Amino acid sequence: MSDRAALLFGVHAHQPAGNFPEVFEQAHARCYRPFIRVLHAYPEFRFALHMSGPLIEYLWTRHPEDMALLAQMSRRGQVEWFGAGDFEPVLAAIPQRDRIGQLLALSDRIEQRVGQRPEGAWLTERVWESSVVPALVQAGIRYAVVDDYHFFCTGRSAAELRGYFSTEEDGQRLDLFPISEELRYRIPFAPAADALSGLEALAGPGEAAVYFDDIEKFGIWPETWQWVYEKRWLAEFIERVLASGHLRPETFREFHARTASRGIVYLPSTSYVEMNEWTLPAEPAQRYAALVQAERDAARYGAHKAFLRGGIWRNFLSRYPEANWMHKRMLGLSQRVAAAGQDDRTQLLRRLYAAQANDAYWHGLFGGIYLPHLRRSVWRNLLELEAQLDTLAPRPPLARGDCDLDGVEELFLTGAALQAVIRLDGEAALHELSSYPLAQNFGDTLRRQREHYHARALRGADSPPQSGGIASAHERFSLKHVIGPADLEPDPRGRTLFRDTLLAPGSAPVELRNYQLVATAGDGARFAAPAAQITKAIALRGAVLEVTWRIQAVRGEFVTELDLALPSCDGFAGRYLVGGAALCGFGQPLELQGAAELALDDRFMQGRVALHIDPPARVSAQPCYTVSQSEDGLERVMQSATLRLAWPIDRDQAAIGVALRIEVDGASPGEAPRQPGTP
C-alpha cells in the first residue's frame, strides 16, 4: 500500500430538523438515492459517510431499500461511518454534558442501524475550538476532520498536510485530518479528469489526499444533478480513481491504523474561510472581502490567506439578537434538564438536543436564521421542553434577570398557557410571547439588518466564468425575487410586540422608549412614561394577555405596533378574520376602520390569535419581509405580520384608557392543516 497515495474521500449528509417533508424527498430523489446507488456499484471505492440523526431516521423510515444498500456497503467494509452531534449542533456552542450526550446518541444510533461504531467525527461547519476535544475523546472519537485552512493558520504549509496530526486538551489526545480546500472547490465541479489530476498532485506514496464535504453538492446544488448523474461525472470520477496507478481509496480508519501522526498541532478557533467572512457584520465583511480580492489581484492571496482571518462562528450570536435569545434560552433549559430528578430523561434530552440543531442560529450561503420554519423548529422544541420541565419543577409566575447577557434585564411573566417576556430597555415591549399548548413563539420574527451581500443585490444577477465544468454555489449570484432599495432598509428598532408611538399634529412622531418599571404583581407589571404622561400595564390571565394604557393630556394619535410570527406566511392557510369572515391572507395588506376585533387564524398551527380592542381602533397590517441569500439566489422571506393599531386622542379629555386583549386559542376549525408555502 505504501507505493500509492491514499484517497480519503468523505461526504456529509444533513437536513435540518423541521425542514419541509418535500425538501427531504427532493434531496433523497436528486442526491441521496443516486449517490448511494452509484457508490454501491463500485465496491472497491471506499469512502466515509457522516449523516445527521434526523436524516438517518427519516431515510430509514421512508426509504429502507436505499438504506439497506448502505448497510450492505458497511458490512463489506466499503463505507466508514463518522459520528457527530446527533441533531447536528455546533459542539463549541453547547455545554460539555450535551456535547458528550449528543455524540453518544448518534454513535448509538449508527451502531444500532449498521453495527459499526464511529471512531471519526465530522465537526458541524468545521467549527473548531479546542474545548471540544475532551467531549470527543470521552465519547469514543479518535480523530476528526477540519479544513487545511485551520492548519495554515498555525504556519503549516500545504506540503506538510499529507497525513494526520495530533492535538490535546487537558491531556486528552485527538487526531486531526486536514481537508483539502482545493479539492472542495474541484469536486464535483471540475471535469472528472481535472479532479483526478488535482488529487494525484496532492499526495505521494504513503501519504493521503483528504476530501470531505457536503453530499448535497452531488445533486442538489444548481446544475449538479445533470452534471453528476445524467452526464456521469460521479461514475467517471470513481472509475478514473480505481484505474489510477497513483491513488488507492481507503477509509480513514484504515489509514489511521497503519500510519503514524505527523506531529503535534494546536489549532486556533476558526472555521472554513467563507464562514469567517459570513460571521462579520456587513461593513467589516465588505472591507474583508475587498482585502481578500486585492490580495487575489496581486497574486498574493495563497501566501497570505492564513493571515487574513475574519470572525469566528460565535460572532453570529452577537450579530443576530434573535439567535442569541434562542441560544441563551436553550442554555437555561439545558441547566434545568441537568438538574431534573427524572430517572428517565430520554424525552427531555431529545427535545433539548433538537433545539441545539445549528441551522437556525446562523446564516451564510444558506438561509439559516432567515428561514422561519427552521427557527420555529427550535422554538417548538424549547417550548415543549419548558412545559415538560414546568410540570416537574414549577417556576414562579414572575422572574427578572439578564437571560441573554446583553446588559439589559428581562421580565418573565409565566403562566400555564402563555409566557410573555418584556425587555426592560425603556420600550416596555414584548420580546417573546409563547403559547405552550401550541408550542409557538409569536415573537419569533427577525429584524431587517444590513448584510454584506446586499451591495450586490441592486446590480442584479451575474454569471460565473466557466472552465469546462460547472460553477459552485459560492461562485454564483442570482435573484429569486425582484429586490428594490426599500427591501434593504434596516429596521431602526427590533421587531417586538407593543412598540408605542405618539403622533401629534405638526410634530415628528415620538417613539416611546423611556418607560420605567414601577410595579410588579403576581400576574403582571406596570410601567410609566412620565414625560409623555402614559402608564402601561401588561398582565397574563390564563390564555389571555392584557395590555392597557392610560394616556393624559395628549392630542393626536396613539399607536402601538405588533409583529406576530405565525407558521403560515401567506395564502388562506394564514388569514385575517373579523366576525368569523375571512378578509385576506397574512401576506396581503389590510386596512380596517373602527375595528373592535381581529383574529389571525393559522390552519397549519391549528390555532388563532384573537385581538379584542377597546375602544375600537384603526388597524393596518402588512407583511414584514427580509432579504437573504440562499444557494438558489437572493430571496424575499416573510418573517411576520406587522399590525399597527391607532387611536385618536383628544386633549380635552382628562385621560383616556386603551385596552388590548390577546387571546390565544388552539381550536382553529376548518381545513386540515398543511405545511405553509413560501411567501
pLDDT in tens, 23-42: 999 999 999 999 999 999 99
What is the rounded average pLDDT of the residues 65-94? 97
Spell out the domains of the chain, with CATH numbers in brackets.
Answer: 5-259 (3.20.110.20), 494-665 (2.70.98.10)
Q: State the cell numbers at 76.
A: 463489506
Residue 266's closest CA among 389, 102, 154?
Answer: 154
Residue 622 pLDDT: 96
Residue 51's closest CA among 107, 127, 135?
Answer: 107
- In the predicted structure, residue 571 carries a pLDDT above the cut 80: no
Q: How confident is the model at residue 485 (pLDDT cuts 50, 70, 90)?
A: confident
b/e per residue 506-542 (b: at least 16 CB within 10 A) = eeeebebebbebeeeeebbbbbbbeebebbbbbbbee
Q: What is the pLDDT of residues 179-229, one digit of tens each?
A: 999 999 999 999 999 999 999 999 999 999 999 999 999 999 888 999 999
CA dist., res. 520 & res. 530, Å (int) = 18
The CA R_g of the chain, rounded to the nearest whole Å, is: 27
Q: State the cell numbers at 376.
A: 420555529
What mean pLDDT is reported for the chain? 92
State percent of the chain over pLDDT 90: 82
Residue 506 pLDDT: 83
For residue 452, the SS3 value is: coil
State the residue for C-alpha cell 477540519: 146
Q: How confident is the model at residue 417 (pLDDT cuts 50, 70, 90)?
A: very high
- Nearest-10 crossing angle of helices 96-114, 64-75: 90
DSSP code, position 571:
S
- In the predicted structure, residue 237 carries a pLDDT above the cut 70: yes
Contact in structure between 535 and 549 (CB atoms under 8 Å): yes
Q: How confident is the model at residue 631 (pLDDT cuts 50, 70, 90)?
A: confident
Catalytic (active-site) positions = 125, 214
- In the predicted structure, residue 667 carries a pLDDT above the cut 80: no
Q: How many whole angstroms from its chain centre is CA 18?
A: 11
State the residue for C-alpha cell 431587517: 448
CA dist., res. 315 & res. 324, Å (int) = 10
What is the rounded average pLDDT of the residues 469-482? 62
Residue 101 pLDDT: 98
- In the predicted structure, residue 483 carries a pLDDT above the cut 90: no
In sequence order, what are the beta bridge partners of 123?
Answer: none
Q: State the cell numbers at 414.
A: 409565566
Q: How confident is the model at residue 470 (pLDDT cuts 50, 70, 90)?
A: low
What is the rounded average pLDDT of the residues 282-301? 93
Q: What is the pLDDT of residues 247-259, one digit of tens each?
A: 999 999 999 999 9
- In the predicted structure, residue 546 carries a pLDDT above the cut 70: yes
Residue 523 pLDDT: 87
Q: State the cell numbers at 87.
A: 441533531
Residue 467 pLDDT: 62
Q: What is the pLDDT of residues 383-403, one digit of tens each?
A: 999 999 999 999 999 999 999
Q: What is the DSSP string of 413-446?
A: EE-SSEEEEEETTTT-EEEEEEETTTTEETT---
Residue 189's closest CA among 237, 227, 230?
Answer: 227
CA dist., res. 603 & res. 620, Å (int) = 22
Measured from the Cβ of residue 7, the count of other Cβ atoms closer than 10 Å reads: 26
Residue 249's closest CA among 198, 208, 215, 193?
Answer: 208
Contact in structure between 195 and 188 (CB atoms under 8 Å): yes
Beta strand spans in 201-343 (E)? 208-214, 247-250
Q: Which of 238-247, 341-350, 491-500 has the lowest mean pLDDT?
A: 341-350
Q: Which helix (H) or strand (E) holds 388?
A: helix 372-392
Report the C-alpha dihedral over residues 564, 93, 89, 175, rounded to 10 degrees: 170
State the residue for C-alpha cell 392630542: 555
Q: How confident is the model at residue 487 (pLDDT cuts 50, 70, 90)?
A: confident
Residues in CB range of 25: below 8 A, 6 or more apart: 62
Q: Which helix (H) or strand (E) holds 252?
A: helix 252-258
What is the rounded average pLDDT of the residues 45-60? 96
CA dist., res. 650 & res. 414, Å (int) = 36
Q: What is the pLDDT of residues 339-370, one digit of tens each?
A: 997 778 999 999 999 999 999 999 988 889 99
- In the predicted structure, residue 17 carries a pLDDT above the cut 90: no
Residue 414 pLDDT: 97
Q: How confident is the model at residue 475 (pLDDT cuts 50, 70, 90)?
A: low
Phi, psi (5° rounding) for residue 299?
Answer: 60, 35
CA dist., res. 636 & res. 460, Å (int) = 14
